[in-house]
C-alpha cells in the first residue's frame, strides 16, 4: 500500500483531483469465481449501483440485504494526458478489497474504515478510457476488525454473525478519487503544538518524494501570512495566536510547497487549529482549560445509504448536536469518513477517534451479557497473532490519517473487549505502546470498558490515560421498576473505582435506553419516552456525585440499524434522535442540562 494516507484530496495549481463517485457496475460473487473467470477485466453481467453507499439497503430482497462473501465493482474512467503520477484513492473499502486496473492487480487492503491508496501510473493509459475493478469482501472472523463470524444456513447461504450490535454494512461507502500529482510531491505532514503565553509554536515535519527544498507558511483567516519556515522539519512561531477552542474554532491555513529555486514543484494546503491537550489529575485540559465532555456515541448510519458518505446528513447531525449544546462525540466503533472530522474542526467539536476494535468477546449479544461474568477465552485462541497484526496496522493508519485534526483530542483503541485476563493485558499493552509511538501530538489514549471490566477484575484500565465506561444501570441491569436498585448498584461501582485512587478523568461513553418515539406511558415503562427521560435524570444524579467524572456521551445520538433479533425492533432504538434525525423527548432534557454544564 502506498504510504500517503493522511492527505485529503486537494486541487490546486499543481494537483488535480477527479471524483469517480457515481453509478458503478456491481455483481455478487457467492462462489468466489470472479478471479478465475477474469471479472477484473469486465463483469459482463452486472447491475448499476451508486458509490459511495452501502449495498445492503439498495435492494428489496433478503438475499441481497444479508449477502456475505465476495462482491465486485467496476468503473470506466479516463486519465487526462498530462504529466504526473496517477493515484487512486478510496475513502474505504469495507471490509477488505483488491483493486485492479485494466485487468491487473494493483493493491490489496485489509480493514474497511480507512483509505486505500495506490499508484496506478504504470497501469493506466493516459488520454484513453481505462477499466477499474474492485473485488471486495464483507466476511467477519476473529482475526478481523471488527470481529465476528460467518453463519451458514441449512440451504448453504452464508450470513454475517457479528460480535457487535450494529449492522454489518459494506461496500465502497466513501468517495473515490483519481489524483494526478507531480513526480516529486508532498506525501504527508504532521504537527505538534506548544503554547508560550499568547504565542504558539507549531513544530512540523513534511515527507516528500525527493530532496528539493520545502517551504511552509501559515495564514490567518484573513489570508495574512503569520509565520513561515523552510526545511522538511521546522517550527512556525505564531505571535498572539488565535486558539482553536471547544465550540469556538479558529483555523489557520497551512501551505506546504516544494520548490526548485523560484520554480514551484508541488503544493498542498490544509487547515489546522492551534490547541493543546493534556490530562491533569481528573481533568481534561484543552489549551490548559478544563472541559467537561457532553455529547454522543454515534454511527455512520442512515436509511437507504447505510454507512455511505452523505454531506446533508453530516450537516444535519452537527446542527442537531449543536442544538442540544453538545461539544463531543466518539466515532463508535470505527474511524468515520474524513469529512466528519473536517466539519468538526470547523465547528469546534471534540472527537474521541476509535479504531474498529469491537467484538472482542465471543458473543453475538455482548450488550446483553455485559456484567454477567461471561468469559470466552477470546485472547487465548490461535487467531490472536493475526488479529494483533491487523489491530496494529489499523491503529497506525488511523493515527496517520487523523493526526492533524484539532478536533481529535484522543484515540480510543478498543470498545468493550474481554479485559479480565493477563492475556488481554499482554495484547493491549502492545497496541497502546505502538499508538503512543505514532502520535506526534501525544494525545491521551483510552478505550471503552463494559460492565465485566469491574474495578477488581479489569487487567487493562491502567493502560488508559483516562477511563471510558459503558454502563447501562437501569436498562440491561435492573431496569424498569428496579431502577432504584440500579442507581444503588451504580453508586456502589463508582465508590469502588474511587477507592482505587486512580486520579484520572472518567467519561461515560455509553449509557441509554431503547425508546420508541411513538410510545408514551404514565407511570413510565421501559421503551416509553418518559422512561428514557427518567433514566437520564437518574444517571445524571450519579455523574454529579463524583468530581472525577468528566464527561457523558449518551448512547446513541440517533437510532441505527442492527442485525435482526428479538432484542431489536428494526434496529437499536437508543437514539436521542430518531433515525430520521427528529428529537425524542430526551433531547430536550439534554439540551437543558448541557446549556450551562
- Cα 218 to Cα 199: distance, rounded to the nearest angstrom: 14
Instruction: Give residues with Cβ within 8 angstroms of 377, minimum separation 6.
Output: 362
Q: Exposed, middle or buried, 157 (CB in 10 Å: 0-12/13-18/19+)?
A: middle
Residues with a known catalytic role:
416, 510
Buried/exposed code over 520-540 (b: 16+ C-beta within 10 A; e: otherwise):
eeeebebbbbbbbbbbbebbb
- Cα 452 to Cα 476: distance, rounded to the nearest angstrom: 13
Instruction: Give residues with Cβ within 8 angstroms of 363, minimum separation 6.
Output: 163, 369, 374, 376
For residue 473, the 8-state DSSP code is: B
- Cα 426 to Cα 595: distance, rounded to the nearest angstrom: 42
- Cα 191 to Cα 365: distance, rounded to the nearest angstrom: 41
**Residue with the three cell numbers 506546504:** 256
Sign of CA dihedral 98, 101, 103, 104: negative
Closest Cα partner for 367 from 380, 357, 356, 358? Answer: 358
- Cα 495 to Cα 455: distance, rounded to the nearest angstrom: 10
Q: Omega into 14 within 30° of 0, i.e. cis? A: no
SS (HEC) of 90-132: ECCCECEEEEEECCEEEEEEECCCCCEEEECCCCCCECCEEEE
- Cα 21 to Cα 471: distance, rounded to the nearest angstrom: 40
Instruction: Give residues with Cβ within 8 angstroms of 413, minimum separation 6.
Output: 354, 355, 357, 395, 428, 431, 432, 435, 445, 446, 447
Closest Cα partner for 256 from 195, 193, 192, 191? Answer: 191
Buried/exposed code over 486-501 (b: 16+ C-beta within 10 A; e: otherwise):
bbebbeebbeebeeee
CA atoms within 13 A on the CB side of 286: 24
Closest Cα partner for 82 from 11, 180, 10? Answer: 180
Count of Cβ atoms closer than 10 Å to residue 483 Cβ: 21
- Cα 550 to Cα 209: distance, rounded to the nearest angstrom: 44
Instruction: Give residues with Cβ within 8 angstroms of 443, minimum separation 6.
Output: 277, 408, 409, 410, 411
The radius of gyration computed from the CA coordinates of the chain, to the nearest angstrom, equals 24
Count of Cβ atoms closer than 10 Å to residue 196 Cβ: 9
Amino acid at each position: 500500500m502506498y504510504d500517503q494516507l493522511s492527505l485529503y484530496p486537494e486541487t490546486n495549481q499543481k494537483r488535480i483531483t477527479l471524483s469517480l463517485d457515481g453509478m458503478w457496475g456491481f455483481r455478487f460473487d457467492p462462489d468466489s469465481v470472479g478471479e478465475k473467470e477474469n471479472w477484473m477485466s469486465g463483469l459482463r453481467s452486472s447491475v448499476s449501483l451508486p458509490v459511495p453507499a452501502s449495498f445492503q439497503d439498495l435492494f428489496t430482497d433478503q438475499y441481497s440485504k444479508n449477502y456475505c462473501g465476495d462482491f465486485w465493482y467496476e468503473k470506466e474512467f479516463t486519465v487526462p494526458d498530462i504529466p504526473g503520477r496517477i493515484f487512486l484513492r478510496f475513502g474505504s473499502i469495507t471490509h477488505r478489497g483488491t483493486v485492479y486496473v485494466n485487468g491487473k492487480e494493483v493493491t490489496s487492503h485489509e480493514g474497511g474504515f480507512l483509505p486505500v491508496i495506490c499508484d496506478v501510473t504504470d497501469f493506466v493509459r493516459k488520454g484513453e478510457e481505462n477499466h477499474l475493478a474492485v473485488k471486495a469482501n464483507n466476511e467477519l472472523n476473529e482475526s478481523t476488525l471488527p470481529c465476528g463470524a460467518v453463519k451458514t444456513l441449512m440451504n448453504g447461504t452464508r450470513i454475517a454473525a457479528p460480535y457487535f450490535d450494529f449492522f454489518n454494512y459494506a461496500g465502497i461507502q466513501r468517495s473515490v478519487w483519481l489524483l494526478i500529482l507531480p513526480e516529486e510531491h508532498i506525501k504527508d505532514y504532521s504537527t505538534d503544538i506548544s503554547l508560550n503565553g499568547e504565542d504558539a509554536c507549531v513544530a512540523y515535519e513534511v515527507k516528500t518524494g525527493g530532496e528539493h527544498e520545502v517551504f511552509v507558511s501559515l495564514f490567518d483567516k484573513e489570508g495574512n501570512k503569520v509565520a513561515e519556515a523552510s526545511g522538511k522539519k521546522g517550527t512556525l512561531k505564531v505571535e498572539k495566536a488565535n486558539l482553536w477552542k471547544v465550540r469556538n474554532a479558529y483555523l489557520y491555513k497551512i501551505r506546504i510547497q516544494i520548490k526548485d529555486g523560484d520554480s514551484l514543484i508541488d503544493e498542498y494546503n490544509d487547515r489546522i487549529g492551534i490547541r493543546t491537550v493534556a490530562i491533569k489529575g481528573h481533568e481534561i485540559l484543552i489549551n490548559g482549560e478544563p472541559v467537561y465532555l457532553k455529547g454522543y456515541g454515534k454511527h455512520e448510519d442512515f436509511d437507504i445509504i447505510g454507512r455511505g458518505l452523505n454531506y446533508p446528513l453530516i450537516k444535519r447531525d452537527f446542527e442537531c448536536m449543536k442544538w442540544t449544546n453538545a461539544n463531543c462525540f466518539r466515532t463508535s466503533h470505527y474511524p468515520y469518513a474524513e469529512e466528519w472530522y473536517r466539519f468538526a474542526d470547523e465547528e469546534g467539536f471534540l472527537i474521541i477517534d476509535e479504531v474498529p476494535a469491537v467484538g472482542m468477546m465471543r458473543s453475538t449479544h455482548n450488550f446483553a451479557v455485559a456484567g454477567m461474568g461471561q468469559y470466552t477465552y477470546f485472547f487465548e485462541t490461535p487467531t490472536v497473532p493475526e488479529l494483533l497484526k491487523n489491530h496494529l496496522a489499523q491503529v497506525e493508519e488511523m493515527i496517520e490519517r487523523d493526526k492533524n485534526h484539532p478536533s481529535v483530542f484522543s484515540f480510543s483503541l478498543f470498545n468493550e473487549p474481554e479485559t479480565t485476563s493477563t492475556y488481554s493485558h499482554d495484547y493491549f499493552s502492545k497496541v497502546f505502546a505502538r499508538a503512543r509511538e505514532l502520535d506526534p501530538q501525544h494525545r491521551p489514549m483510552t478505550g471503552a470498558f463494559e460492565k465485566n471490566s469491574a474495578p477488581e477484575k479489569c487487567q487493562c484500565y491502567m493502560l488508559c490515560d483516562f477511563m471510558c465506561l459503558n454502563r447501562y444501570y437501569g436498562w440491561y441491569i435492573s431496569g424498569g421498576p428496579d431502577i432504584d436498585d440500579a442507581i444503588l448498584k451504580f453508586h456502589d461501582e463508582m465508590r469502588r473505582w474511587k477507592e482505587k485512587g486512580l486520579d484520572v478523568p472518567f467519561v461515560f461513553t455509553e449509557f441509554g435506553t431503547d425508546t420508541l418515539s411513538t410510545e408514551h406511558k404514565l407511570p413510565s415503562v421501559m421503551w416509553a419516552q418518559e422512561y428514557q427521560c427518567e433514566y437520564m435524570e437518574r444517571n445524571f444524579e450519579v455523574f454529579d456525585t463524583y468530581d472525577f467524572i468528566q464527561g457523558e456521551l449518551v448512547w446513541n445520538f440517533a437510532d441505527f440499524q442492527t442485525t435482526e433479533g428479538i432484542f431489536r425492533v428494526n434496529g437499536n432504538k437508543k437514539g436521542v434522535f430518531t433515525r430520521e434525525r427528529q428529537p425524542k423527548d430526551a433531547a430536550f432534557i439534554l439540551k437543558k442540562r448541557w446549556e450551562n454544564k
